[in-house]
């Protein structure tokens, strides 16, 4: 019965037939009427068009236009009807979907209620069965406890005085064994009183010994208190030293962090200055190499030295190298001009272009060389 009550609710299978869109159920009468009307209008339009081609009469054209207009009007009415039907079906579908959602929610709530009710009934039946089992178990335990207590009392009386001294014959129940146990308790209590009297003397002797041990304990307690006081002082000093050390370390860590931050800022500034100097250096060197106006080379040299791109010796060496380069360029130019003149070429006008042999004045290049030698 318990297993049947504990079974959860399972819905039974109910066969359902759902009509899908793939099943051909034919066309409704209103749709058939719309299609037949459109077909008739198209036939009339085709007939009017054939009459126009055959008779060549303007009245047939008017009839054709009227037929086309009538067909378009009918098609518009059909579309409006179909749009209305679609909107109605959509609203009905939305309503059905909302109803289905509400139904599913109600179904879930009913299933949850059914589950709770089944769980409640199962819990109640299980609690009732457990109570019955507990009650019968308590009765059995009480009976077994009475029997076990009787056995224990009998064994106790046999051990404390024997069967004959306590009047035991083996057929007594708990109601007879309890008075005999109380009588044996009275006898044992009298014997215990005598033992207690003897114990008082021992207690007095032990009290004297405890007093002596108490004095020794008091002395040792004083020593322990003194040691604890010194330990507390040392602990306070150590904690103060540790706190001071911690503050000092924290201050040093803060200073180190500040120094790191300052050094990082200086490094960033140096990097930016170096990048700026590297960006300016080609321009200043160009100004120093090929000044565009007088005094520009001196200003470039001053800027190179002032910005720290070059020191004074470096600027002087750079200027000397530029002067030497220019002097070498002048010497090479003069040598090239001399060679060109010796070869009979003239750099000026006089009838010949640049690099053309000089014909003016007569004579060949060899005679020119002879005249220069004289």
Q: Are 308 and 277 in contact (CB under 8 A)?
A: yes
Q: Alpha carbon of 306 to those of 7, 290, 310, 322, 373: distances in Å?
A: 99, 20, 8, 20, 55
Burial of 153 (0-12, 13-18, 19+ CB in 10 A): buried
Burial of 139 (0-12, 13-18, 19+ CB in 10 A): exposed
Q: Residue 2: which of 100, 130, 112, 105 has the closest Cα?
A: 130
On the CB side of 361, how many CA atoms lie within 13 Å of its CA? Answer: 11
Q: Residue 181: which of 161, 202, 207 has the closest Cα?
A: 161
Q: Are 288 and 297 in contact (CB under 8 A)?
A: yes
CA pair distance 53, 46, nearest whole angstrom: 11
Question: What pLDDT sits at residue 372?
Answer: 37
Q: Are 354 and 347 in contact (CB under 8 A)?
A: yes
Q: How many CB atoms lie within 10 A of CB 56?
A: 9
CA pair distance 307, 274, nearest whole angstrom: 10
Three-class SS state of 17: coil
Q: Are 74 and 41 in contact (CB under 8 A)?
A: yes
Q: Alpha carbon of 13 to those of 7, 9, 10, 16, 58: distances in Å?
A: 17, 13, 9, 9, 73
b/e burial code for range 288-324 (CB count within 10 A of at least 16 → b): beeeeeeeebeebbebbbeeebbeeeebeebbeeeee
Indicate the helix (H) or strand (E) that contains 220.
helix 174-289
Please, which residues have CB within 8 angstroms of residue 163's CB and are 6 or more apart in sequence?
Answer: 157, 169
Q: Are 130 and 21 in contact (CB under 8 A)?
A: no
Q: Alpha carbon of 84 to those of 35, 44, 74, 87, 158: distances in Å?
A: 17, 27, 15, 5, 108
Cα-to-chain-centroid distance, residue 154: 76
Bridge partners (DSSP) listed for residue 345: 357
The list of the chain residues with pLDDT below 50 reads 1-3, 348-374
Q: Are 347 and 340 in contact (CB under 8 A)?
A: yes
pTM of the predicted protein model = 0.28
CA pair distance 319, 290, nearest whole angstrom: 11
Three-class SS state of 362: coil
pLDDT tens for each residue of 6-21: 566 565 665 666 666 6
Question: What pLDDT sits at residue 359?
Answer: 41
């Amino acid at each position: 019965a318990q297993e049947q009550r504990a079974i959860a609710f399972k819905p039974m299978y109910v066969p359902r037939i759902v009509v899908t869109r793939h099943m051909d159920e034919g066309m409704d009468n209103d749709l058939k009427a719309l299609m037949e009307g459109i077909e008739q209008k198209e036939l009339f339009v085709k007939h009017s068009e054939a009459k126009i081609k055959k008779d060549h009469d303007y009245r047939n054209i008017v009839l054709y236009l009227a037929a086309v207009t009538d067909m378009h009007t009918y098609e518009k009415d059909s579309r409006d009807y179909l749009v209305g039907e679609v909107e109605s079906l959509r609203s009905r579908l939305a309503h059905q979907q909302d109803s289905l959602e509400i139904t599913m929610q109600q179904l879930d709530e009913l299933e949850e209620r059914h589950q709770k009710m089944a769980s409640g009934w199962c819990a109640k039946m299980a609690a009732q069965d457990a109570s019955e089992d507990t009650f019968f178990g308590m009765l059995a335990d009480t009976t077994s406890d009475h029997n076990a207590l009787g056995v224990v009392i009998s064994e106790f009386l046999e051990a404390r005085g024997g069967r004959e001294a306590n009047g035991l014959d083996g057929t007594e129940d708990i109601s007879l064994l309890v008075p005999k146990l109380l009588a044996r308790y009275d006898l044992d209590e009298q014997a215990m009183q005598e033992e207690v009297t003897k114990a008082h003397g021992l207690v007095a002797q032990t009290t004297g010994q405890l007093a002596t041990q108490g004095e020794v304990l008091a002395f040792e307690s004083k020593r322990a208190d003194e040691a604890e006081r010194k330990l507390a002082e040392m602990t306070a000093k150590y904690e103060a030293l540790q706190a001071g050390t911690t503050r000092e370390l924290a201050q040093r860590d803060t200073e180190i962090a500040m120094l790191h931050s300052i050094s990082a800022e200086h490094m960033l500034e140096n990097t930016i200055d170096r990048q700026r100097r590297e960006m300016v250096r080609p321009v200043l060197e160009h100004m120093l190499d090929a000044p565009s106006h007088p005094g520009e080379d001196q200003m470039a040299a001053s800027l190179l030295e002032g910005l720290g791109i070059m020191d004074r010796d470096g600027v002087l060496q750079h200027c000397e190298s530029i002067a030497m380069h220019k002097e070498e360029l002048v010497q090479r130019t003069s040598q090239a001009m001399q060679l060109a003149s010796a070869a009979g070429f003239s750099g000026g006008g006089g009838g010949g272009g640049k690099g053309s042999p000089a014909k003016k004045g007569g004579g060949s290049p060899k005679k020119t060389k002879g005249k220069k030698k004289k």
